[in-house]
Amino acid sequence: MRKQRTLRKPIEATGIGLHTGKKVEIKLEPADTNYGVVFYRADKDIYIEAKSENVVDTTLATTLGKNGMVVKTVEHLLAALYGLHIDNILITVWGDEVPIMDGSSAPWVYLLKTAGIREQNAYKKEIIIKKPVKIKEDGKFAALLPSRNFEIHCSINFDNIFIGKQKISVEINESTFTKEISKARTFGFTKDIEYLQAHNLALGGSLDNAIVVDDYGIVNEDPLRYKDEFVRHKVLDAVGDLSIVGYDIKAKYLACKSGHDLNRKLVLKLFKDKEAYEIVGNPHREKIVGSFVWSALEEEK
């Protein structure tokens, strides 16, 4: 069982929202032990915790919401936080969407490491899967099985000659996430772009923040970062989506053609079955989100 971690110092960034196409400012700040991952909509003065009950939409991205306010496209940042074992952080956003950056978690990994990561004087709880939890619909499948580690076994099958069938198995830890998963970019198809933008989606999408695929290959001038970058991005999304359980995950995640919606339903099904999991670790300490104590910064002085 490991110690909780936070940032050493605040860090800021600016980018474009993938779906809104709007410029977004974001600030990442250290937080006290047991604070968790919390988004703060500075323009609306509302705090939204990255918890399963706050997932309000999974249309082409994972959206967190509370009292009618939302923060969209959180999964790539959440994946980076989980991959680097950063447990306590306040994320201030001036807008309703997290910047897409280059479509992967790599820029977030860079920013978080630039800010520095500090171990805290409290242990992180673990969620241990005790029996299989499975969900299947429309030819898609996802499951959580017992395991001593966090393993992901993922496969995709697209009706596109360039992508086709891809599969990967990886144990998720800081090293494997950073080297093997974090650089995988989101992707889309030229045939879908016009439809998405007509429905106010992917308005900020470009060759700078996504792999675009047509019938002949990728439209981007830059080559793929991994030969199987598409399935690796699905793993990246899964890490972000599953991180909202709020604990270190001890499970084997199996997925075939899964996505944000099925991942959300899998987490909800898990928590409905109290016999399917066990949470171990330090006693839970209640906190009030918003009454943020800057002890994390004070300790650093």
The residues carrying an active-site annotation are 260
Contact 138, 24 (CB under 8 A): no
The answer to whether 76 and 101 have CB atoms below 8 angstroms apart is yes
**Cβ-contact 235, 154 below 8 angstroms:** yes
| CA atoms of 292 and 150, how far apart (whole Å) | 31
Tell which residue, 229, 219, 253, has the closest CA to residue 239: 253
Q: Please give the helix or strand (H or E) that residue 15 lies within, else none.
A: strand 11-16
49 token code pair: 């915790």
Query: What is the amino acid identity at position 20?
Result: T
Nearest to 111 by CA among 27, 194, 47: 27
Q: 1, 235, 292, 284: which is closest to 119 by C-alpha? A: 1
